[in-house]
Amino acid sequence: MMMRAFVLLAVFVEASAKSCTPNKADVILVFCYPKTIITKIPECPYGWEVHQLALGGLCYNGVHEGGYYQFVIPDLSPKNKSYCGTQSEYKPPIYHFYSHIVSNDSTVIVKNQPVNYSFSCTYHSTYLVNQAAFDQRVATVHVKNGSMGTFESQLSLNFYTNAKFSIKKEAPFVLETSEIGSDLFAGVEAKGLSIRFKVVLNSCWATPSADFMYPLQWQLINKGCPTDETVLVHENGKDHRATFQFNAFRFQNIPKLSKVWLHCETFICDSEKLSCPVTCDKRKRLLRDQTGGVLVVELSLLSLHFLLLFTKMLFIFNFLFSPLPTPALICLLTCGVAIFLWLVNRPRPVLPVVDLNHQSLGIEGGARKNAREKSNELLSYYFSDAKTMYEVFKRGLAVSDNGPCLGYRKPNQPYRWLSYKQVSDRAEYLGSCLLYKGYKPSPDQFVGIFAQNRPEWIISELACYTYSMVAVPLYDTLGAEAVIYIINKADIAMVICDTPQKASVLLENVEKGLTPGLKLIILMNPFEDDLKQRGEKIGVELLSFLDAENIGKENFRKPVPPEPEDLGIVCFTSGTTGDPKGAMLTHQNVVSNASAFLRCVEESFAPTPEDVSISYLPLAHMFERVVQIVVYSCGARVGFFQGDIRLLLDDMKTLKPTLFPVVPRLLNRIYDKVQNSAKTPLKKFMLKMAISSKFNEVKRGIIRRNSLWDKLVFAKIQDSLGGKVRIMVTGAAPISSPVLEFLRAAMGCPVFEAYGQTECTAGCTFTLPGDWKTGHVGVPLACNHVKLEDVPDMNYFSVNGEGEICIKGVNVFKGYLKDPEKTAEALDKDGWLHTGDIGRWLQNGTLKITDRKKNIFKLAQGEYIAPEKIENVYSRSGPVQQIFVHGESLRSSLVAVVVPDSEVLPTFAAKLGVKGSFEELCQNQIVKKAILEDLQKVGKEGGLKSFEQVKSIYLHPDPFSIENGLLTPTLKAKRGELSKYFQTQINSLYENMQE
């Protein structure tokens, strides 16, 4: 295991005021790595003068609360010469090169500042265990003409080999394996200071990410105090350095972590002007993580205990069994070693984050919240420097250190990657082009994106966010009428699309006068001149993506970042009937939803820049958008599939993703393929045993892929997805319990289920780590509350824990674009979003989806029918791939259209003694009768009442699809279209029935 250190040196300098005396010194904090940020101050700064980076003090009256305040300096630029009425000039930071490391630590020069000030830069060194190099970054601070005079200081962090802190470890070096578990000696040193300056350690902590602000922290030193007995502060506030030691084993066994970063905040104190704090000021100690270091110590003691016990056992064996032959003793010894190794290396369970019997808590108004959230305050963001989608990407650029961002490939080739900086620059160039063409950097400016998943999609989206514009995804499967409707509804004047074919359709709409407002099309793929000339005739300009970037590069405009409350994306949901509705989502909506996901999995899945996700779900779906926001916020990577779903597994084998967002439709195929591959009784028995054994481990919280069953049965499945998936999230549609149990057993990684809809950005509930029971969709996310509302017509009442699911939170949309009537139907006066889904609170506080409010009808005898609930039950039938349940108010029974599974049906029919082509089997009455009987059997097992069981079926050989207009782009059934399409068959079914 490797351990890296990342050191934050906060340099504190205090000067006396000449022109005025502030009541309390303020703190201004500057991070020069990886990006310059100045913390916010509540008053107008006094005497700003920027030379590379110069900081003024603060001149004001009144008492000011202590602490750090965030403030960004976009206005300190050449075009804006003043800030708060004082003159300023801006010069970009100078890059310094140290060996092979590029550091953007800036030289800081402070001139003639009459009041209190402080400044700092972030420096870092790496500390890696086992055959790892030690590198260091050093920065220089200059102070000229301050009240302390003029001085220059070099700040550095060093590691030492002894407790006297006298022998430094030179770079590079290798830490011997024997040193793991020994004490580490660290020291912060400020060279070039006069004797009156003291170095003071304020706090030291570790995180699982290079980001020193990462919420999950293990505290070593807090407010100058060691947090436990494993840390000692040797020198603090005595001279120009501060030293401390801690046990290297402290961070060796943190579950799920391969790297740990160490951070230290250090003050340089002028002892002639201040009383410098000493080692511990006896303030209250605060542990951000109560298990920091403690669990590891217990494990190390436990291992030592077993080692001593094993030694004693050897002595006893030797004493009692010395007459035994040598092979017998070797056998006993081998068994003992095996037992010892198993005890030491046995899999450790994923611990639940809450009491699994009480996962949600009731709050005022009958709503419920996630039990782990102590207050009722909703989560708006996870990282304080990432509150908009623009800031999220900038954060990814910083924490990844300009690492790989977007990947793409051609057939039979490896992935090629664009770095974060390349993506950011190209987005700025594209956005600058749009501004050059006369479009506004405003949330009122809508930009259409009409393309399949690819890097240019993300670049186009980021271009919108960089200049406060709004992205409007156009599904390439919505159909011509819907695209026309959206362009007109959103007043879209420019569309960025991928293929000349789509551009031709857009031009045809303009030629017919259907979309007169469209004036600019930017094409990702190459196109012929005749297409451009065709556009010129009707006043539509066509540009290639590359030409647009070049125009923007030559006419660069400074970014105009959005605010969290600004509109960021309008996602048109294709309903089962009527025109699409444009859900208006703000930056805060999307960021809060992604943040709530991170909050749920922070203990079991802490994303890092090494993580990678595969993008194949439509980018126009908010599920995929939220996943990508999570990825970018942590500096991780996204690899795009080739565009052909049939090649997805090949893409995954090449990419080897660690994060896999997935929909039940794909999971059902994986499940069916595995089940159908077990053809012999022995294979079926082995598969059943493997699933049972692995799922029993899962129920105990043990998630792994190195068991015997993994090697014998599940390795092929895991390898087909790349072999490195460490988290799967399924959503967008219900998933059956058998499939979910199988996946949790077979995949060797946590499989979470989410529930939500576009109107709440993506998700509103999520299953928690440690709870591997199926049959529910988890608990409310930290960004929203959930309540159930009475539906008297369906006999659902909230007092019984049942009703329509309603959501209220930071992730709830602002309404439908230019559609106040539909908005009023979805959002009530108190801000609750009515989903139309029926749910029930289970005894453990989780939510179960039981019904659908909107798609209900009455049969002739007065019984209410929820067809989607029935279809979900019937989908568990082996030979059924798709099913549409139909009923009418003048009929007393239900019928269904069934699309059989083409891989399962031949085997199913063969058992009946029937052979033939797939189409012939669909017309066979014996097969039809057998499938109906299987449906009724599954329905009975699923708790369907007699009037909810279908009485007759029609077998259809062609699947319902987006292309034939029977499914929405989110793969939901278009019930109205299905009824029309199969009206003849439905009438025939009823005519041949005796109701």
Half-sphere exposure of 557 (CA within 13 A, CB side): 23
Q: Are 722 and 657 in contact (CB under 8 A)?
A: yes
Strands (DSSP E) found in 210-312: 218-222, 225-226, 231-235, 241-247, 261-270
| pTM of the entire predicted model | 0.64
| pLDDT confidence of residue 269 | 65
Q: Does residue 229 sit in helix, strand or coil?
A: coil
pLDDT at 971: 74
Residue 356: CB atoms within 10 A of its CB come to: 16
Q: Are strands 125-126 and 135-136 parallel, antiparallel or unpaired?
A: antiparallel
The two tokens of residue 931 are: 């499938």
Short-list 403, 453, 400, 455, CA closest to 426: 455
Report, in this order, helix, strand and coil percent for the chain, each rounded to 5. 30, 25, 45
Burial of 862 (0-12, 13-18, 19+ CB in 10 A): exposed
Alpha carbon distance 845, 859 (integer Å): 34
pLDDT number for residue 74: 32
Low-confidence ranges of the chain (pLDDT < 70): 1-159, 161, 163, 165-182, 192-197, 207-214, 248-326, 328-329, 340-347, 476-479, 574-578, 860-862, 970, 994-995
Buried b / exposed e across 277-313, counting CB within 10 Å, b at 16+? bebeeeeeeeeebeebbeebbeebeeeeeeeeeeeee
Give the pLDDT score at 213: 65
Angle, in degrees to the nearest 10, between helices 326-345 and 294-320: 170
Q: Which residues pair with residue 110 across a beta bridge?
A: 143
Residue that is written with structure tokens 């989780």 in the block: 846
The answer to whether 113 and 144 have CB atoms below 8 angstroms apart is: no
615 burial via Cβ count (<10 Å: 0-12, 13-18, 19+): buried
The amino acid sitting at 601 is V
**What confidence score (pLDDT) does residue 573 get?**
81
Cα Rg for the chain, rounded, in angstroms? 32
Closest CA to 105 of 113, 114, 117, 97: 97
**Tokens matching residue 845:** 């506080």
